[in-house]
Amino acid sequence: MHQNLSKTAFFLSTLVVLSTSCEGPGEAQYPPRTPAKGSAVLPPTPDLNPKLAPSQYDDGAWSIRGVTESGVAGRGGKSLQVRGYVAKIHRCADDVKRCKPAPHVLLTDRKDLRGRRFLLGGIPSPAPGQGQQLTATGTLVTHSPDGLYVAPSGLLLLSDETEESPK
């Protein structure tokens, strides 16, 4: 009998709690929201199709995109010109003859220096500044004969004909 009484008490207390805590089906707990007057100020729509550099320029120089996507990088030993913006330059200290990593330049197709980069083995003379456009002439390989430079996707070992491009 004691168990029946406790079950009944539990049932009644649960019924009281449920009946007082739940509102009826038609009653709203919060007032309806109305939209604010005026208009929203949104930023301009971004360009999701950025302008790409051509694979090859009119004068025959290749872009970074052109060298890496066309498969010309897989045909090593070929002499060609590559044009891009100097994204990074790594130089050795003046008092050091050899350093790691070896002196090199990274080129990219974009003026903001982002995107795919391409390795130039060595630093052209005169040395370009970061952000300058450069047309580099050299031999396309995957590694240098002395083992200083290795890039499976291709790198350009510079010749003496590299020049800074006019803006």
pLDDT in tens, 83-120: 999 999 988 887 777 788 888 899 999 999 888 999 99
| 124-135 pLDDT, tens digit each | 878 889 999 999
Cα 73 to Cα 89: distance, rounded to the nearest angstrom = 22
pLDDT confidence of residue 25: 58
| 38-49 pLDDT, tens digit each | 888 899 998 888
Give the residue extent of every domain in the chain: 64-164
Q: Which has more pLDDT, 120 or 28?
A: 120
Model confidence at 164: pLDDT above 60: no
Cα 98 to Cα 143: distance, rounded to the nearest angstrom = 18
Model confidence at 68: pLDDT above 60: yes
pLDDT confidence of residue 135: 93
Model confidence at 4: pLDDT above 70: no
| Positive or negative: CA dihedral 116, 82, 67, 143 | negative
CA 83 to chain centre: 20
- Return the CATH class of domain 64-164: mainly beta
Please count the other Cβ atoms lying within 10 Å of the Cβ belonging to residue 53: 18
